[in-house]
Structure 1
Amino acid sequence: MWYVFLCFSNRQRNIPDQQPTSQLSALFRDATLHDLHKTAVDLALQSKNGHLDLFLRFLLGLSLESNQNLLKHLLPQSSSHSNSSEQTVQYVKQTIRDQRSSDRRINLRERDSDRYESEDEDDSDRYESEDEDDSDRYGYEDEDSDRRINMFYCLNELNHHAVVEYKMSSEDLHVETLLPGEWGTKLWKTFKMSEEQLAEFDLQKYIKTPEEDQTELLSPDEVLLKVLPAVTSALLAECTLTEKSFESVATVLQSPNSLIELDLGQINLKDSGVQLLSKGLSSPHCKLQTLRLSNCGIADEGHPGESAQKLFSAILENPHHKVEALRFADCKLPEKSCGIVATVLQSPNSLIDLDLSHNDLGDSGVQLLSKGLSRPHCKLQTLRLAECTLTEKSFESVATVLQSPNSLIELDLGQMNLKDSGVQLLSKGLSSPHCKLQTLRLAECKLSERSCGIVATFLQSPNSLKELDLSHNELQNSGVQLLSKGLSSPHCKLQTLRLADCKLTEKMCETVTSVLQSPNSLLQLDVSDSDLGDSGVQLLSKGLSSSNSILQILRLE
């Protein structure tokens, strides 16, 4: 094994080696590391007594860059082979599948042969549908099974600890794997994905946070094309998808399918992924209602946001389906994307949830968006514009929308340079009888105690606000004192109040306790990251024990 690997490394450095003539001679003719691995795998599988099993496992383990680093003083300098290792993983997995398919055909023939001796041939059809619980009696304990188990050990050497095999029916996905802890007993584990799991297929569950008996089951390229046609919701965020994965997604979207939710957040789409997805999103077969591409790693050289906008346009302008939710946070969308949304909102549409956070939309972009928000066809209920580098001019546009008939019930303007002047502008819209907002997020907006006074005035007039987030602003105790006037008002319906990291101390607890002891609607209060001290917490406990307090959740840290 050591000699074979050294000869391969030396040949890459143009150092001639003496190639032996033996059963292993084929190994010395391979040009790439992946070819070397394939040849070694094939030779090990051909061995009848398994004498090459350990040789293969050590060779694969030695090929890992992490192991070579440990032995760098014994090995010649060589280039990285991470891609070759992944190719080898896929080759070994395919080898196991091929063996499994062959075993199943043999097992069925042997089982049928055994039973035909005592039963008529007319009954043979039912054997095809019987469970394979008796598989150990038909070939699983033979030398082919041993070769197959060695392939599992090989995957372990390559840091892949289990293999998936699947068979799809109209409703179910069956996944079979050899449990790592049970290799000695050759226990094959089969589990069935329920209809609920297929309805919301979360790929992370199977490749990142597996259950105890489902260790690292799926790789995206192996399963997406099989699973996606059967699911309605595909959560693929933070998964390492390749171009082949995007081909699978695009293929499903372009053929009859039931997919209505697709989450591709925090994935590096690259240009090839964008091109493939655009075709799928533009297809008349595409029925997506929710698309999430937050932080999707689209890089456009010289034309920021061009690729993201291409996807944005593809789904919004597709007349064959009605999109309800779009999450395009941190996708480098330009301001003209707001124009596309506005155009859609001005005609009959079904868009109710839009996240454009962390995009440089600018005031002109929000101004374009506001034209659509005020139209009678607009049904948008949730709008997220956090960290979109806006100025007072944008807040004025938002206030104008809130003062006219609209459907907004959730608004996120967090992480912006809003300041007290921006809150003052917003208050005009918040106080309007047309305003239906139930959730308002103004976290990390450089607000002071003055903003608390503005909000308190709004809370003392008829309103529908149920959730308010003022976290990460320097409101201080005096700000909470002003806010308490609104919280105690009979018009206040606020159920959730977040004041985390607002420079609060023990004195604030007196104010909050007073609010809790009077009639109020607070169910959840967050004052975490505050310097309350034991005495402050003791004060809060008095408020919690009041008959007027209905608080269910209190966050202190």
Structure 2
Amino acid sequence: MQTANISFSVGSNQMEEYFRKRISDEHQASRIISHIRRSRSLNIMCHIPIFCWISATVLQNNAEIPQTLTEMYIQFLLTQINMRNQKYDERNTKKLLKSNRDLIVKLAELAFKQLMKGNVIFYEKDLIESGIDVTDASVYSGICTEIFKQESVIHQRKVYCFIHLSFQEFLAAFFVFYCQVEKNEKSLNLILRDLDYRSLVSGMCGQIEPEEYYLYGINITLVDLQKAAVDKSLESKNGHLDLFLRFLMGVSLESNQRLLQDLLTHTVNSSDTISATWYIKNKIKDDHYYMRGKHLSAERCINLFLCLLEMKDQTLYKEIQEFVKSENHSYKLSPAHCSTIAYILQISEEVLDEFDLKKYNTSDEGRRRLIPAVVNCRKALLDGCNLNDQCCESLSSSLQSSNSSLRELDLSHNDLQDSGVKLLSEGLKSLHCQLNILRLSGCMVTEEGCCFLASALSSNPSHLRELDLSYNHPGQSLVKLLSDPSYRLEKLNVDHGGEFRIVAGPQKYICNLTLDLNTANTYLALSESNRKVKHVKKKQPYPDHPERFERFPQVLSRESLTGRCYWEAEWKGKPDISVTYKGISRKGKNDDCRFGLNEKSWSLIWNNYKFIVRHNNEKTGIPPPSSRSNRVGVYLDWSAGTLSFYSVSDTHKLTHLHTFNTTFTEPLYAGFRVCYSGSSVSLCEIKPLPVRIKSVTHR
């Protein structure tokens, strides 16, 4: 069958077109399409044309609609068997059952042996080794397709394959289950060797061969085989055992055993499979790859979760749904957890109103794995999550999906650069993209990136209404182009632009501050257009003012700080560099007035060759960086509740010193305490930096 190795394009209507052409009854075709649309797991599989063919074959001939992949393949197998029965019109029922069972088991043995070898095509000798009559195998045109492959210029050899690798994996799983049910010792020895059963045994068992287990009275249970298959599949780099594992878990269900009753001499109680589901859940929850201490890949994590669904175990699914809906996300999530959460959100029939990536306590890798979840939410907040251009490929795919519910996407304050915007624009071009709002503030986008956006808007101008390009460098010509009415943008934000915004890290948010003379203590002298403060011995003739610091040598900035702000200060002596609410006390000499000693202010102090950070009279010492500098950078992200201090080198490289995490409730002001005569602090004028400098380093 030629459809085995191709797939329908993501977001296309090819799957629906296939079913309507394949099924002449329009009502039945609509019913099947509707069922597949509702089941996201089946919908994903139906991007493979051969699976559409299998689904159509099953759903046309069955009143009950399969709920799992295993059920679908069992029903397909039974359909093929019934077709064979009708063709040969065998009157002896027992003989017919035995004939069917013998052939299916032999084909299943062939499937397992070749799967373990990594083979998808096999020769006549392989069939003979499994006891298959080649002429009988050809009868199963739907199960084993005969094809020709030219081995040399002159000769041709017959080669065989299953209609699709997935069906080979299904039969291989059935073979393992069948051998366990039948206690076929010889075949089980073969299976144990291929699944590397020794990974589960210890002590004496680890020193003996599989064929000797029975001599020592070692009982190999179905759960043992399932656990061994889990471990074997996790070793795979390309996932070639993923479906095999799902089918092995699925066929063990009693409901599926009943469907297969004509192929099984007896069934087994599946209550022991609780141990198998527990084993799988622990693999997902523990995450660290049990063999090498590495994280499980996203693909392996998702497949383990799908194994649980094949066994109709919904407990982990429900746990994660409750976690996503809860407000408490303090639990540290591993990358495996994130892969599972993302997949569950994707297949959920309920569209999430808002997905805020910052709420999830995880690593950068974990955040990357959560990104695919945006396809099934209306509003995605991915701002300030340390994403890079590579993350945009997944986002682009989501925008192109016909199932995408995404209407608002905030990627602000991530260093995506033009390369990321180029990938994103491919998604924006798609006619399936219905995004209304896109925020790219502070994403290092230049004129080149804006050209990609303009091209995307010209291809699909019908939906995007709001575009935020503030803190980037779009250039005047591109601003004019994007303002073209044909693009139908209702709101275009290009504020705070310029080439100096195209830097990695917080320096793109530089702001110009001046000192407020009305707040300066009388022993502080301001100069250089109120950008420098110095402690002097002589009292300054300042007039009385209610905002002036009466006793402490402190001063505030004139400008208030909200949003994202970055500034630098250079000092001499022993200063305090702070931020504070305007409501800090000004009169007296108690803790309410001094920076860092109350709940209204946060300070960085240089003292005795080390830094100290202080808030609400709680202090923490910080060793100085290896290269000493008298210049400090301060970065405020007001909405995120973070205040960060950096040491700034002569080459403008930032070394992170400390970050306060809190919730700010009102605008802040820069503040400086200059204690000793001759000590000073100057607000630095930051010149435009080279484009695309290296990111800040964290010690």
TM-score interval, normalised by the smaller of the two chains: 0.3 to 0.5
| Structure with more of its chain in strand, by fraction | 2
| Structure with more of its chain in helix, by fraction | 1
